[in-house]
Every structure is written in C-alpha cells, then in structure tokens.
Amino acid sequence: MTGILTPSFHASSIHPEVEDLLNKVVGNYIKQKERQKMKPITSDCETLLRQENEELCILKQVLEKKIEELLELQEQYKSREVAMTRSLEESGEKVTQLSDSVALFKSIIPDTKKAIASAEKSIDILENKCQQLEDIISAKDRKIIALADNISSYTRYSDINIEPEIYSSTKERKLWVERCSESEYNLEVQKKYAFRLTSSIALRGNSIH
C-alpha cells in the first residue's frame, strides 16, 4: 500500500520493551485496516487511511509524553525513597544512641541512690553535732552572763563612794557616819557618796535624841 505512513517510536527516554509494545500495537492496527480494505484503493480510501495513520502518530506522541511523565515521577519516587531510607537509618542510629544513654542512666541510678542515702546520713550527723555545739554555746553564754553579773555586783559594792552593807572596821563605820552627817547640809557630799537607807534613818534617829 503506497502512501501509508507506518509510525515508529524513537524516544530514547522510553524503556525499549515499552517502545516495542507500542510499535506492535500500532502495526497490528494498520494490518487490520489493510485486511478490511481488500478492494482497490481509491483516492478517498487512501485519504482516509492517511488520516487514520496521522491520528495514530498523534496518539503515539501523546503516549510518549505520558510515559516520559511517568518515568519522571518514578525517578522522583526513587529519590524520595532513598531520602526516606537514609532518614530511617539516621533515626535508627539516634534511637540506638538514646537507648544506650537510657541504659547508662539506669546503671548509675543504684550508685546515685546510695550516694544520696550516705549524704543524708552525713547531714543528720552534722545536724546533731551542730545542736550539741549550740547547747554548749548556750551553757557557756549563761555562765558568762552569771560571771558578768558577779563581777558587776562585786564592782558595785567595792566602789569606795558607795556605803558598804558590812563595815570592815569600826573606823570605816565612823567614817561613813561622818559622811552621812555631813551630807545633811553639804550638797557636794550628797553627790559624791551613796548612802544606805538604814544609815540615813539611823542618823536621823540619833539627831532626834
């Protein structure tokens, strides 16, 4: 049959098996058309066959484009699969590291508990010692206060300007009687010496008699 174009596929990006399959489908279609038209070919028949052949060529181009798109998608999926596989491997490594860390922490927990218990015992001992020291300091403070009171009392009664409760001699007693008597009219003596109340009362009694 003259004038009939037989399409063939030459897309280098298409898999050879797919290309052969498409060529076979198109060839079978053309042969079927030829068997159906055993009568002499007229110009109208030739034109019709030519149009059908052109339509098949267009269909072939459409199929080639679709196949190329599918191949591109396949490559994208492969790239994503590789990336996901790598990510899973990295995640697996991180999980392994995390598991190792957890195991390490679990292994040191008993030692940590023992150290905490020992520290708590040490703290209790130190607190007891601190309490004992506080008790000792408190007792010493009381002794110091009592000693200070005794010293103050001794100093107060040993002051030569204060009349003692007990005279060391008769001479001292007469001296304080004279001072007390003098203080009745001498303001400076009153300021300088401190007399016991009993001495003042006794002095007044003697003056009345």
Q: Which amino acid is at 86?
A: R
Each domain of the chain, given as residue ranges in start order, spans 1-115, 161-208
Distance CA 85, CA 90 (A): 9
The pTM of this model reads 0.30
Question: Considering Cα of 135, then 137, then 138, then 142, what sign does the dihedral take?
Answer: positive
Which burial class, exposed, middle or buried, applies to 26 when counting CB atoms under 10 A from its CB (0-12, 13-18, 19+)? buried
Query: CA angle, 155 as apex, 150 and 157 as ends, to 5°?
Result: 95
Q: What is the pLDDT of residue 8?
A: 47
Tokens, residue 191: 């300021």
What single-letter DSSP state applies at residue 165? S
Distance CA 186, CA 180 (A): 10
Q: What is the pLDDT of residue 208?
A: 45
The β-bridge partners of 166 are none
Q: What is the pLDDT of residue 36?
A: 57
Please list the ranges in the chain whose pLDDT falls under 50: 1-12, 156-157, 201, 204-205, 207-209
Torsion angle in degrees (nearest 10) through CA of 122, 127, 129, 133: 160
Token look-up 């005279």 returns 167
Q: What is the pLDDT of residue 123?
A: 93
Q: What is the pLDDT of residue 146?
A: 77
Distance CA 105, CA 85 (A): 30
Question: Considering Cα of 36, then 39, then 40, then 43, what sign does the dihedral take?
Answer: negative
Q: How far apart are the first and last CA of the chain?
A: 182
Q: What is the pLDDT of residue 10?
A: 47
**How does DSSP assign 5-51, residue by residue?**
-------TTS-HHHHHHHHHHHHHHHHHHHHH--SPP-HHHHHHHHH
Torsion angle in degrees (nearest 10) through CA of 182, 184, 160, 175: 40
